[in-house]
Every structure is written in structure tokens, then in C-alpha cells.
Amino acid sequence: MIHITLTDGSVKTFEENVTPMDVAKSISEGFARNVISANFNGTTVETETLLTTDGSLILYTWNDAEGKSAFWHSSAHVLAQAVEELYPGVKLTIGPAIENGFYYDVDFGDKPISEKDFKAIEDKMLEIARGKHEFKMRSATKAEALQLYIGNPYKTELIENLEDGTITFCDHSTFTDLCRGGHIPNTGIIKAVKVLSVAGAYWRGNENNPQLTRIYGISFPKQKDLTEYLELLEEAKKRDHRKLGKELELFTFSQKVGQGLPLWLPKGAALRERLENFLKAAQKKAGYEMVVTPHIGQKELYVTSGHYAKYGADSFQPISTPKEGEEFLLKPMNCPHHCEIYNNSQWSYKDLPKRYAEFGTVYRYEQSGELHGLTRVRGFTQDDAHLFCTPDQLDAEFKNVIDLVLYVFGSLGFENFTAQVSLRDPENPDKYIGSLENWEKAENAILSATIDKGLNYTVKTGEAAFYGPKLDFMVKDALGRQWQLGTIQVDYNLPERFNLTYKGSDNELHRPVMIHRAPFGSMERFIAILLEHTAGNFPLWLMPTQAIILSISEKYEKYAEKVLNLLENDEIRALVDHRNETIGKKIREAEMQKHPYMIIIGEQEENENKITVRQHGGEDLGMISIEDFSKIIKTEISKTLKSF
């Protein structure tokens, strides 16, 4: 007999060789019909895997992220079979599940595919799915695996890097694929599929390797789910920050300047400045000091910090100077510079904590195929801060940073979020720097503060930074998409590497603890996400223009200027549309520019010394005094932008 522990803590007893599906059926037949994947003792298994020992079992349905992953991974197999049947002779490579759907990278040789081929692939996938073919795992020797993929250099390369005895295949229908497992019971569960796009992708992400065709797709257990997803996708296209950024004249890119290097236009630069000033004001109240560091540093600085060993090969290469042997790097991180600022003085425990903040621009060489608008760029500005404190101060300082992040989210309308505690992977110690003792102290500090603050959190093993664990905030936007925004990290390692010290009450030198912190993260990425979350309708306090004044004719330009001056005296950002256009056209274009308020000026308004106000979206507030309009603006701002 074996004992199976379920997620609710209950223990069920079974004969050996029971399957996860058997366990599901023992709970209820209705529940079992919805189970599509499972995890046994921390390992993803098939629903028909034989369980032979005691252990903990998690049963997944479509409603679980792990269930969706198994569903989409299985769908990738079906996509590969469909492609192979439609295009004989192609070479398959890999096809994982991703956050929304799946992809498969294929070498089509001289048979390129395009959007016109999508329908045929979808039809073939559904034909295969209707066969209700079971997904079955089997083991194979290395020799057998290599024999199967004669003529496919991609699969051969993967197999060559595997150990004999660890190689498995998944079979369904007439198709087989090299695979480690994690599938739904059968293809029949797949009821709706959509090929979304194709793109170029280098084998293993290396631009020196052959370029493949990446086919992106998504699938669902119900047609209704696919319909809803496609509607969401259409809304996402309307909110695409690249489209909105162009329409609102916020930023642009230039091939002459270089890929992944955004150029901020006047309106975008003003938007960034307001965000910076907003955070600077909160930081000043929290005791931060602003610093400025250069865009480059000597290579040795990043060798000391460990960044060069971890990122040097994938970053911009060293810059050689006229002096022999002297090399500089474009700054990939601000933290080494801040460590050197701390090292400029000898501190006492009475001086700590020291809180250094900077809007520092850093540079990382992202592959060209991974660049995407403002969300993946090669040069970006971080709202970086590094706090140096005593171990006794760590808990309070970490909690204060959490409060700052929550203030930022609240002021910008991000209300739906969870916290993610990212810990090291104990199975891969080479990924990290520093002692086990320091890692344990740092991880315990983050978990303790997170629990004390009452945050809704999850734990992710293996997601820590190379120098320390972190607390990431996972925010859901208006379309339900999840983004990582805001991060706080505890670091015992860089203080050791840079020999940072302070004099304690015992008159001896001690090592400070370092907190890395960035509520926005990357300014570029944050603005991109904010654009898509709000569809360009930023919180009123952040809008480039809070009101646009539209005169019915040139006769009322003088009164329009008077209104402008009065609003500006009240610190309301406004402008006058002086163009000789019809009022209807001015209103339509003001709507497109997403101006929150339109002020209409005509004969009656001038005679009564009032304004007619129309809100973005069409709501008419009628004719009111300028003073009352100012109160409306200030009241709306006060609802979101509270004091820190």
C-alpha cells in the first residue's frame, strides 16, 4: 500500500501502481473529468503515470497555470505533427509552452510559410485533436534517439547533450517527439486552436546559428474561450504602447541612432520628468539622497561586482582607450557605482542607514530579435536606489521600501497585484555568488518582512538575482496580463566584494547589509506598461495636458488666453488650440489625443466669464466658473495622488 498526500493535507491509501487519474476519480468523477495534469513529489507527471511510493500529489485543471502549461505543451506537439504532415521534410526543433500559448521552431528549408497558411495548419491540428490520441511517454537509449533523428542536426545536438538513461519520447497518433513530459491525457481535450503569427528565431537564440521559423499558437478546451481571447487580443492591439506612443508623440526610434535606443520626444520627456519628480518627492520624505554616476566604468569595477562574469559575454563589449590595457564598459548596473559612493567615507553605525537614489541609465545588449518597443531595449533608465544599513535595521528598512512601492502602485492605478519571493535554486549553486550563510539570512529577511506586511505572495525557487534573493511585485493590467513591476533585493554579497564597512558601537568594523530597490524598474518598460494599462488615459496628475482650450472662432482667442493664464496660475497644465478649424474637428482630435478635459470658449462663455467643459469620452459638464473647474481638477488628483 502507498499513501498519497493531497493539497488539502488529507492522505489517501491506495494499492501500488495507482495513477494520478485514479486518485482524481477517488475524489469524484466530476473532478476527474477536469484533471489534465499532475505533479508528484515536485515533478510534473502524466495523469496515467504509475505511482509506486508514498508522496504528495497535486492535480491540475485548466484553471491552474500548471494545467494550462501542460495543455499548451501538448498542443505544441499537435502543431508539430500538423506541420510535419503538411510540409514533409521539414526539420523540427523545440516547442515549449509559453505564458499565453505555445510555439514551435521549425526549419522549413526553402518552403517559407506565411499568414495564408495558418488556416490549413489550424484545420490539420483540429483534425488530429478530434482523434482523441493519448499522449504516452517512453524511454529510449541514446543510440535509438540518434537513429530516429538522422538528418535533423537540431534534435541530434539536443540528444548529444543528454545522458543515456535520461532520454524520453512522447508518442501520440503517428507522431513522436523528444520530450521530458508534462501532457494532457489525450488530444481530444483540445477543442479550439489559433495560429497567431510567425517570426524568425535563431537556433538556441544565437544569431550565429541558422535562422528558423517560429510558429506561435494558442489553444483552448472551449471555442468560447478562444473567442474571448481573440477579442482581448484586439483590445491589446489598440492599447499597444508602440502605437499609442506614436499617436501621443511620446517617443520614437531611429535606425541611425541604433536599435533598442529610444528617443524621447518633448511630450514623452515631460511625462518622464513628472514621474521622476513624483518619486523624488516621496524619496526625499523617506530620507533618500540623490546621487549621479557616469554612464561608463572601468571593466575592473564590474569584475569586482560579479556582473562581468555573469553578463559580460552577452553585454556591450569593453571600450578600449588610447592607454594600453585600459578598458571601460557601458554601465550595465548602477549598484557597483553606489558601493563606491558609500566607500568614499568611513561611516559609523550612527550614520546608517544611507539611502542613495539615482535615475541611472544602463546598457545591455539584447538580441535584436528580442527587442520590443520600450519593454525590451538596449538602453534604459532605472529608478535605482541602494540602502546600506546595519543588520538590526534591515527589517524596518525593507518594510519601508514595501510601503514606497505600494504608494507608487496606488498613485498610478495598479491595484491588482501579488508579491513573488524569488529564492536561489539550491540545485545550481554555481549560478550565484556569496556564502550559503548570507543567502539564508537574506532569504529569511525577505520572507519575514513580506509576511509581516500581510502581502499576498508566492515563492519561486531559482528566480533570485545572482547576488541575492528578491521580492518582485507581479501586477495585472486592465487586460488581465501579468507584469513584473517593482523589485526589492537583499544583498549580503556586494558589501563583501567591495569591502564596505561601518564602525559599530563596539568600535569594531562591521559589514553593512545592502538593499537594492526600484519601484518603477525600468522607466521605459514602466511607461510602456502604464500606457497599455490605461490605454493612454493616464491618471490626471500625470497627463501631459490636463485641459485643452478650444475657441469657437478667432474672436474669442483673447478670452481663451485669459482662461489659460488663470489655469496655469492654479498649476493646471493647459494649452490653447489656435488652429483655424471647426470646433467639431478640434473636439475629435482632442479626443484622439486623450486630453482629459476640453474647454469650449464662445460668446456666451466670454460674456458670463465662464467656460463650457467636456470630459474625455463625451461627458458634458456644462458651463461652470473657472474656479469650479480648478476644484474639479484638484479633487480628482487628490483621489489618486496622496501624500507619502
Looking at 239, 376, 378, 386, which residue is catalytic?
A: 386
Assign residue 340 a region: left if phi > 0, alpha if psi is -120 to 50, beta otherwise? Answer: alpha
Determine contact, residues 464/470, Cβ cutoff 8 Å: yes
Looking at 105, 384, 472, 577, which residue is catalytic?
A: 384
**Whether 497 is catalytic:** no
What does the pLDDT look like over 308-346, one tens digit per residue? 887 777 788 999 999 999 999 999 999 999 999 999 999
pLDDT at position 428, please?
85
Determine contact, residues 121/195, Cβ cutoff 8 Å: yes
**Whether 172 is catalytic:** no
**Whether 384 is catalytic:** yes
Looking at 68, 81, 194, 335, which residue is catalytic?
A: 335
**Whether 73 is catalytic:** no
335 is in an annotated binding site: yes
Determine contact, residues 218/72, Cβ cutoff 8 Å: yes
**Whether 339 is catalytic:** no
Determine contact, residues 371/380, Cβ cutoff 8 Å: no
Cα dihedral 109, 115, 117, 120, rounded to 10, equals 140
Looking at 382, 393, 489, 546, which residue is catalytic?
A: 382
Distance set, CA 451 to CA 454, 506, 513 (Å):
5, 32, 20
Looking at 331, 376, 470, 614, which residue is catalytic?
A: 470
Contacts of 216 (CB under 8 A, 6+ apart): 101, 102, 103, 195, 196, 197, 198, 199
Find residue 357's DSSP bridge partners.
Answer: 290, 385
Which long-range contacts link 344-352 to residues 24+ away (Cβ below 8 Å)? 346/501, 346/502, 346/503, 347/388, 347/501, 347/502, 347/503, 347/512, 348/502, 348/503, 349/390, 349/502, 349/503, 349/504, 349/505, 349/510, 351/502, 352/388, 352/389, 352/390, 352/393, 352/502, 352/512
pLDDT at position 590, please?
92
pLDDT at position 115, please?
93
What does the pLDDT look like over 344-383, one tens digit per residue? 999 999 999 999 999 999 999 988 878 999 999 999 999 9
CA dist., res. 17 & res. 38, Å (int): 15
CA dist., res. 34 & res. 31, Å (int): 5
Of the candidates 413, 381, 156, the one whose C-alpha atom is nearest the C-alpha of residue 261 is 381
**Whether 503 is catalytic:** no
Distance linking the first and last C-alpha atoms of the chain: 60
Q: Is 218 exposed, middle or buried (0-12, 13-18, 19+ CB in 10 A)?
A: buried
**Whether 372 is catalytic:** no
386 is in an annotated binding site: yes
- The ranges of the chain with pLDDT < 70 are none
* Predicted TM-score (pTM) of this structure: 0.80
Determine contact, residues 337/269, Cβ cutoff 8 Å: no
Looking at 516, 525, 595, 610, which residue is catalytic?
A: 516
Distance set, CA 196 to CA 215, 217, 317 (Å):
8, 5, 36
CA dist., res. 490 & res. 467, Å (int): 9
Pull the grid cell for residue 414: 495598479
Determine contact, residues 566/626, Cβ cutoff 8 Å: yes
CB atoms within 10 A of CB 237: 9
Q: Is 451 exposed, middle or buried (0-12, 13-18, 19+ CB in 10 A)?
A: exposed
pLDDT at position 258, please?
95
Of the candidates 476, 286, 526, the one whose C-alpha atom is nearest the C-alpha of residue 399 is 286
Determine contact, residues 136/176, Cβ cutoff 8 Å: no
Of the candidates 480, 534, 485, 545, the one whose C-alpha atom is nearest the C-alpha of residue 238 is 534
Q: What is the 3-state secondary structure (H, E, C) of 222-277?
A: CHHHHHHHHHHHHHHHHHCHHHHHHHCCCEECCCCCCCCCCEECHHHHHHHHHHHH
